[in-house]
Structure 1
């Protein structure tokens, strides 16, 4: 199988590319190489993949790349994904997460190429006091980020119905693991402590997220792509934790660090929660215990300063970076 992986120089995509290379699959990475998509993320597999630099929202470039490589499957990882950045710069999120998905849908429709699109549990909005979301639950996004992701999902659903586009939308819970940009909670906490700064908890730290180890997600993604018959799949991690619990667990592994409390993020959601009946019916369960996955992740950041030091910016060092 030849997989055309858009945005696969980022965190999730690069982890899945390693899995595919180990499976001896042909992989073409199409990436714009922005701040979060980096050649360093693919350095260990660079000799086993093809790489095309391009923008998912550039229809001519994307169409040519798909036509040239004739993939059996397109997997779209491309996304602006950081909520804080979406509060400050929402236009970037509209371009990549809405216009980019529309562009991909048009190219895939013309080229008759199946698509798997990576979405997020955040499209369901704040689940505090609500039953866990099923795949047909209403989309109630809260932030510019989640609104842009929900918009992309809706475009793909409309193309599936109107044009018969072969598409699967995969909505994972909060992923963690190696190669995640240090703007996100777990690596940000590790990096700040290693830099001698306190970890920061927004608000009272009671917000709940469901954590999914990235390697487990990549396994679920393969199963959905190969055997899934539905259009939308939730992939929950089964590890609900408050932000405070996560930060305290990271500090315990590091054996040091202090916690500073910041103001709550504007429009922040108190909880995310999903049902995963469809992916469970395919035989998937997350394999990585929370404690083992977190320790492995923390130790990776401790051992790979060379990777994250160039990425330290205001979203890492500022206590409330959306200001």
Structure 2
């Protein structure tokens, strides 16, 4: 991506964990960033952000608002992180499909009309694979197990469709379990760290349930790598973004136990397994390395330690995260 300070990057879902992190990442590179927040989005993650970040509230499910937004902002790049349905409390099917699919369609159609538009990078999800979640290739058939997963599959298919048939500059990053500073407080790692500091554990499911944890800085670098490669990588490509390793709940709890020197033993099964809990859920990021030169470089130990330091040094952010936590964790 050109290093000119006049480059404009528009980020949707900018009040969310990944979206806000991308805003900070690209602003730090000297780019003008337009942070698009939903009508009800809480902006605590962008408090005291760089002056080059402009915040605007827009309903992405309204085509006329999206067209006006992109016409006024004139971005060269759009990073779409807007999403709904990733938490147990977010259960309204019609809203899931409006936000996760219809909004993507509005954004793509509006971006395609802009002169000089260079890259649309959509944040997909490893949830798209559903029951086929064990190191799947990007061309593996998904078997979604929720409305959220179905809506994300549909959005990926749409981005591929317009990119392959209309030469639209679009790509999809299927993100694994992203963690780090500013993560949603109800998620596993923030809860483990919060309880760990107090010498305890949160309620825990089956210790053999696994996730592929990838640190937020690595994820931001993946988005940047796609933008930088927009003229050389085939349009419509999908990339798995993860560490490529299955980390069981038992493993990550032990890492946190060692980090804080917790004396007591964890109580397994103190929380019932959820329908999305799988024993071998991890990514295959080979394609991202081969085509983008990207791989996760932050170890789990280093990422956990960095996140713990951040929460210790930024208690105001931790308090904001607790106040604005979404009920339940996925």
Instruction: Tell whether the structures are fold-level matches, with TM greater than 0.5.
Output: yes
Q: Which 10-residue stretch deviates more, 113-122 or 61-70?
A: 113-122
Counterpart residue number, 1:115: 120
**Structure 1 residue 271: deviation in Å?**
2.5
**1:160 matches 2:174:** no
**How many residue pairs get matched?**
313
Q: Which 10-residue stretch deviates more, 176-185 or 98-107?
A: 98-107
Greater helix fraction, Structure 1 or Structure 2: 1
Contact 1:55 / 1:62 at 8 angstroms: preserved in 2? yes
**Structure 1 residue 192: deviation in Å?**
4.6
**Structure 1 residue 91: deviation in Å?**
3.8
**Structure 1 residue 11: deviation in Å?**
0.8
Q: Residue deviations 1:55-91, cap 9 Å, x none? A: 22121111111101111111101112524234x4444
Contact 1:127 / 1:273 at 8 angstroms: preserved in 2? no
Query: What runs of 5+ residues in structure 2 fail to find an aligned partner?
Result: 1-6
Contact 1:216 / 1:286 at 8 angstroms: preserved in 2? yes
Looking at structure 1, the residues matched to 148 and 175 of structure 2 have their Cα atoms a distance apart, in angstroms, of 15
Q: Residue deviations 1:102-154, cap 9 Å, x none? A: 222222233364311011112112346x5x21121112111222222112112
SS in 1 for 2:247: strand
Change in CA separation of 1:200 and 1:89 when aligned onto 2, cut-off 3 Å:
farther
What do you get for the CA RMSD once the two structures are aligned?
2.6
Contact 1:6 / 1:31 at 8 angstroms: preserved in 2? yes
Counterpart residue number, 1:182: 185
**Structure 1 residue 314: deviation in Å?**
11
Contact 2:42 / 2:324 at 8 angstroms: preserved in 1? no
Query: What runs of 5+ residues in structure 1 fail to find an aligned partner?
Result: none
Contact 1:4 / 1:29 at 8 angstroms: preserved in 2? yes
Counterpart residue number, 1:249: 255
Looking at structure 2, the residues matched to 118 and 310 of structure 1 have their Cα atoms a distance apart, in angstroms, of 25
Change in CA separation of 1:148 and 1:133 when aligned onto 2, cut-off 3 Å:
same
Looking at structure 2, the residues matched to 188 and 284 of structure 1 have their Cα atoms a distance apart, in angstroms, of 29
